[in-house]
Structure 1
Amino acid sequence: MVSPAIALAFLPLLLTLLIRYRHYLRLLYRAVLAAWLRDRLTGVPREHRAFQYLLAHAVPGDPRHVLSTLDRWSYGCEHLPSVGPVKGRIVSRLLAERAPRRVLELGTHCGYGAVLLAAGLPPGARLCTVEGNPQLASVAQKVIRLAGFDERTVEVIVGPSEEVIPRLRERHGLAATDFVFMDHGKRCYLRDLRLLESHRLLAPGATVVADNVLFPGAPRFLQYAKSCGRYRCRVHRASLEYFPAIPDGLAELRYTGDG
């Protein structure tokens, strides 16, 4: 049994750790524990609760208002792992600079990123967004349609990214993409980037943007992008969505061809 003297000796260290990592503890509570508890108590998944909030507060057909409403939900109600407004402005700026015609999103979740991307597309452009979870894809479809985008502009593809990517050309008519936004499992980033390469789905000069490369992080993806000779790589430092005290960043890759 630990004596009171030893316990008191460790108290300053414990307090220091709690203060230093308080923002991460808050993230753990809001993003994991509180969401899990509300799911069990209500019997309604968090993303469905967010959509009900959208229906009550968002202006249909106005993508910017849909996004700001989701931001209000995530700041004031429950955390959603979306790209968020801070990093979202970086994505919107890159879209405006590139004006891509063919856009691919990996990781739709509840549709936040898809609405953000679709709102920045030039006329006649097309977005294919991939989600492996059918329940999340169903919510995303409703959010995207609520924002005013039909299937001609945004196609939601349900299935694991490693299975969808090889059939994008044949089944979905995506011969090559000008802009890719990755916001799915961070361990999948490198695998899926190499799949895009091997199936020649990256157009010359294509831009690949990957979220959360600093937190929770995608070190192998970054190492490959910087060393393989196929990309010019830049990391845009920002903060984690809805947690300004937690550092994060977006990776911007410009495809230059085979190294």
Structure 2
Amino acid sequence: MVSPAIALAFIPFVFSLLIRYRHYFWLFYRAVLVRCLRDYLTGIPKEDRAFQYIMTHAIPGDPLHILETFDQWSYHCEYLSNLGPQKAKILERLIYEKAPLTVLELGTYCGYATIVMAQALPLGARLCTVEMDARKASVAEKVIRLAGFDDDMVEQVVGPSEEVIPQLKEKYRLFQVDFVFMDHWKRCYLRDLQLLEAHDLLPEGATILADNVIFPGAPHFLQYVKACGKYKWRIHRTSLQYFRGIRDGMAQITYTGLQ
């Protein structure tokens, strides 16, 4: 049995840990504990609860207001791992700068980043967004249509990215991709980038923007991008969406086609 003196000696250490990692403890509380409790009490997944809030508070056909309503929910109600306003500005600026005609999104989630890109795309552009979770895809589909984007502009594909990417040319008539946004499982970033290369889907100058490369991180992806000689790269330093105390970043890479 631990003596009271030894237990007291650990109090400053525990207290310092709580102070140092308070943002991570708060993230765990909001993202895990609150979600589990509300899932149990309501019997409704958090993404569906968020959509109910959007339906009640957002203006249909107004993409910016829908994004703002998502932010209000994520700041004040329940945490959602949406892109968030800080990172959305980076993504939106790149879409305006690059003016891509074909965009591939890997990881639709609730459709937040999809809306950010769709409202910034040039006339006649096409966005294909891939989500492996059918329930989340259903929420995203409703959000995207609520924002006013139809199937001609935003096409949603439900399925694992490693199965969808090899089918993009034949099944989805997407022969090259000018811009790729990655925000799905971080361990899949490298695999899917190499799939895009293997199937000749990246034209010279194509831009890939990958989220969360610092937290939770995608080290193998970054190592490959830096070492393979095919890409120019830079890191946009940000914070985790809705948590300014947690450092994060987005990797912007440009395909040069060189080896």
Instruction: Give TM-score, length-normalised by structure 2.
Output: 0.99
What's the offset of the Cα at 1:153?
Answer: 0.3
**Superposed CA offset, 1:81-133 (max 9, x none):** 11110011001111111000000000001111111110110010000000000
Q: Name the aligned partner's letter for residue 144 of structure 1.
A: I
Query: Partner residue of 2:88?
Result: 88
CA distance in 1, matches of 2:174, 2:144: 20
**Superposed CA offset, 1:153-187 (max 9, x none):** 00000000000000011110100100000000000
1:159 equivalenced with 2:159 (yes/no)? yes
Query: Partner residue of 2:142?
Result: 142
CA distance in 2, matches of 1:219, 1:8: 39
Structure 2: which 5+ residue stretches go unaligned? none
1:132 equivalenced with 2:132 (yes/no)? yes
CA distance in 1, matches of 2:75, 2:243: 9
Equivalence map 1:102-251=2 (5 Å):
102-251=102-251
What's the offset of the Cα at 1:41?
Answer: 1.0
CA distance in 2, matches of 1:43, 1:251: 37
Moved more, 177-186 or 28-37: 28-37
What's the offset of the Cα at 1:37?
Answer: 1.3
CA distance in 2, matches of 1:203, 1:66: 33
CA distance in 1, matches of 2:172, 2:258: 25
Runs of 4+ in 1 over 6 A off after TM superposition: none
Query: Partner residue of 1:254?
Result: 254
Q: Name the aligned partner's letter for residue 71 of structure 1.
A: D
**Superposed CA offset, 1:35-72 (max 9, x none):** 11111110011000111111111111111111111000
**Superposed CA offset, 1:17-46 (max 9, x none):** 000000000000101111111111100110
Say what the alpha-carbon RMSD is for the aligned residues: 0.6
Aligned residues: 259
Identity level (%): 64
1:70 equivalenced with 2:74 (yes/no)? no
Query: Partner residue of 2:4?
Result: 4
Q: Name the aligned partner's letter for residue 27 of structure 2.
A: L
Q: Name the aligned partner's letter for residue 55 of structure 1.
A: M
Instruction: Give TM-score, length-normalised by structure 1.
Output: 0.99
CA distance in 2, matches of 1:97, 1:45: 37
**Superposed CA offset, 1:126-150 (max 9, x none):** 0000000000000000000000000
CA distance in 1, matches of 2:77, 2:46: 10
CA distance in 2, matches of 1:2, 1:131: 50
What's the offset of the Cα at 1:258?
Answer: 3.6
